[in-house]
Amino acid sequence: MYKNIAKHVLRVSSSRAAPLPQQLVSQPRRFFPFFDFSQRGRNWTVQNKISPIDVPPIERTEYEPNYQINLKYKDLHDIKMENVVWSVRLKGADIGHIELTDLNGKGPFIYRAHHLHMHGPSEHRVAGVQHDLEMHIVHELIDGPDHETYKEQLAVVGIIFKVAEESHPFINKIKTEDLGHIETINFNEIFQTITPDEHKGFFHYKGSLTTPPCTDIVNWNIYSEVLPIKEKHLKQLQGQWHDNLHGNCNFRECQPLYGRRVVRNFQ
């Protein structure tokens, strides 16, 4: 019953009450069910066109000591990935949280992790290069100074992958062949580096959701290391949404920076 949704183009009524951030995260298809990726987002009638972006080369970003991010994820037990039509998703009752101080020094804020989903190829480019897959860990703001009026009510941690001979251990755990049962997994495992390098961390900018309604309420954090994934595993994951999207990939094209700062927490 889902295969016909890609024929529709999202049109948002101006009289319609805007959904709350937590509703956008937990029930996106309830509020904006009819979007497709046939034109990489160019046919979405949304106002905000600010994410994803092409992350500039490192020398064109700035080290910002105010920007800090601490990952505090928890073990998940007895779960499995689920197909959500336009992607696959991994969620649990208590995934953990991140602590974030933004590029303006505001914070620290606590964002509770809600779920992980995927886009392929990647939505964000790095120095002009689009890679093969991008994971998004989506978080909701729950605490911090004046957090109820703080604009960025969501934070997303983005992790980019490219095809290699072997997959990152986290990919091996998620049972890409059938989205099968996972005994134990922790999002921290994604960041257990394969190639030790002190010059590694996160790029950060302020942007929007990359799917309708593309609301500009997101603190973006893009992991600077591009991780490996086997071509076999990539195809198995992409196959989960290709049929639902009439063979289309599920990424939005990059948007202009409009003078926004892109900073990093590593030198």
Q: What is the pLDDT of residues 142-161, one digit of tens each?
A: 999 999 999 999 999 999 99
pLDDT of 246 reads 79
**How crowded is the C-beta side of 250, counted as CA atoms within 13 Å?**
27
pLDDT greater than 70 at residue 177: yes
- pLDDT at residue 1, as a whole number: 28
What pTM does this model have?
0.87
pLDDT at residue 5 tops 50? no
Residue of higher predicted confidence among 255 and 93 = 255
Question: Which pLDDT band holds residue 115 (cuts at 50, 70, 90)?
Answer: very high
Q: Are strands 62-63 and 263-264 parallel, antiparallel or unpaired?
A: parallel
Domain architecture of the chain: domains with CATH: 5-48+60-264 (3.10.200.10)
Which tokens in the block code for residue 95?
A: 């995934």
Rounded CA Rg of the chain: 18
Q: Is 190 exposed, middle or buried (0-12, 13-18, 19+ CB in 10 A)?
A: buried
**pLDDT averaged over every residue in the chain:** 86
Phi then psi for 177, rounded to 5 degrees? -70, -30
Q: pLDDT tens digit string along 76-99? A: 999 999 998 889 999 988 999 999
